Amino acid sequence: MLRVHCFAVSLDGYGAGPDQSLDNPLGKGGTALHEWFFPTRTFKRMHAPELAPERIAQEGGTTGIDDSFAARGFENLGAWIIGRNMFGPVRGPWPDLSWRGWWGENPPYHVPVFVLTHHARAPLEMEGGTVFHFVTGGIEAALARAREAAGSRDVRLGGGVNTIRQYLKARLIDEMHLAISPVLLGDGEPLFVGMNLPALGYAVSKHVPSERATHVVCSRLG
């Protein structure tokens, strides 16, 4: 199964803020989309210092609805697929091999990660079992390789917005969990603009409100 989990969207439909950079990995204002996620026990067990350095390396964390959705996103995973922009802010040909991701030497994936890109690069082996593979053959090639690596387990599609849109248009996503955050960005990367999800065969299969977000699951029919 190809799954999207914990993908946060603003009330006005943006999945990331504008102008991603080293200082704004999620785009300007994009961090606010994930305020439902940062307090959870699942997040506090992760290693993602560049996304929220002041919230990392803490014990405890909240349980309940938000944490349940966050934790499910890491269950039964054998591989990930992410877009080039999610791997980092570098654009175009790789100027060198110094950029190794946002997450330090021990990223939170711990399985093979297939990065969509137009520019080839040798696999990058990190601590904790994460290996980044850079795929230049497109979304279906990345999915085929991810499924082979995952075996009987699922593949998680991590984003960003453009990557999810490509897989949705191709009807390759089986299940998509969105966390609709009660914030307005006003600008950024719109997730569904120009897209007809019912025509593509998707329907809402679950929706659960929490104090910090509304969790919506869309499933592919048939």
Q: Dump pLDDT digits (tens) for 18-63.
A: 988 888 888 999 999 999 999 999 998 875 444 444 444 456 889 9
The whole-number pLDDT of residue 46 equals 78
The whole-number pLDDT of residue 198 equals 97
Average pLDDT on 116-136 reads 97
Domain limits for position 8: 2-220
Distance of CA 45 to the CA centre of its chain: 17
Task: Report pLDDT digits (tens) over 131-162.
Answer: 999 999 999 999 999 999 999 999 999 989 99
Domain count, the chain: 1
Alpha carbons within 13 A on the beta-carbon side of 187: 6
Nearest Cα neighbor of 159 from 191, 134, 188 is 191
| Residue 150 belongs to domain with CATH number | 3.40.430.10
Local structure of 102: helix, strand or coil: coil
Question: Do residues 45 and 221 make contact, with C-beta atoms less than 8 angstroms apart?
Answer: no
The whole-number pLDDT of residue 222 equals 75
CA dihedral 61, 66, 128, 16 (to 10 degrees): -120
The whole-number pLDDT of residue 45 equals 82
Instruction: Evaluate if residue 190 carries a pLDDT over 60.
Output: yes
Average pLDDT on 187-196 reads 96
- 219 φ, ψ (degrees, to nearest 5): -120, 150
CA dihedral 69, 73, 74, 76 (to 10 degrees): 110
Task: Report pLDDT digits (tens) over 62-90.
Answer: 999 999 999 999 999 999 999 999 999 88
Task: Report pLDDT digits (tens) over 207-218.
Answer: 999 999 999 999
